[in-house]
Amino acid sequence: MRFATTIAYAGLLTLIATGSALAHAEYQSSVPESDATVKSAPKEVSIVFSEEVNPDLSRIVVDDSAGTEVDVGNSHIVGGDAKQLAVGVKSLQAGTYVVLWTSVAADDGHKLTGKFKFTIAP
C-alpha cells in the first residue's frame, strides 16, 4: 500500500510541475481596455499577457467596424517586456474597433487567439 501511495504522490507532483509548462499566454489587460470608450484615439494598441510571447509568431490586428485593417502591421514587444505586445494604428476616427490577437507562448509554443472591442467617442 505504501508503494502505491508513493507512486500516486509522485504522479501528482509531476502533474503539478508540468502544469506551468502547459500554460498559455492568456490576455490579462490592454490599452485601450476591452469594451472601453475612450475620448481620444490611441496611437497604438497594447496587450499584456500572462506569460512571455514569441514576438515572431504573436500578432495584434485592429479592424474598423467595416472589417478594414487599420493597424500598421508592426506587432512588437514593448520595452523589453516579452509579456507585452503592441501594434501601431493609423489615424483613427470616432467609432468602434475590433482588436484580434494571437499569442504564442515563448516557452512551449502554445497558441491562443481572442478579440475585444473598444470605441472612440465622437
Q: Is residue 71 part of a domain?
A: yes
Asked if residue 7 has pLDDT above 80, the reply is no
Q: Is residue 56 part of a domain?
A: yes
Q: Which residue range forms the structural domain that includes residue 82?
A: 24-120
Per-residue model confidence as pLDDT tens digits over 40-87: 999 999 999 999 999 999 999 999 999 999 999 999 999 999 999 999
* Type of residue numbered 20: S
Q: Is residue 8 part of a domain?
A: no
DSSP code of 74?
A: -
**How many domains is the chain built from?**
1
CATH code: domain of residue 56:
2.60.40.1220
Rounded CA-CA distance 39/22 in Å is: 39
Rounded CA-CA distance 51/58 in Å is: 12
* Type of residue numbered 42: P
Q: What is the mean pLDDT of the chain?
A: 88
Instruction: Supply the pTM of this predicted model.
Output: 0.81
Q: Is residue 11 part of a domain?
A: no
Q: Is residue 54 part of a domain?
A: yes
Q: Is residue 32 part of a domain?
A: yes
Rounded CA-CA distance 51/77 in Å is: 12
Q: What is the mean pLDDT of residues 83-106?
A: 98
Neighbours of 122 (CB within 10 A): 7
Q: Is residue 64 part of a domain?
A: yes
Per-residue model confidence as pLDDT tens digits over 112-122: 999 999 999 99
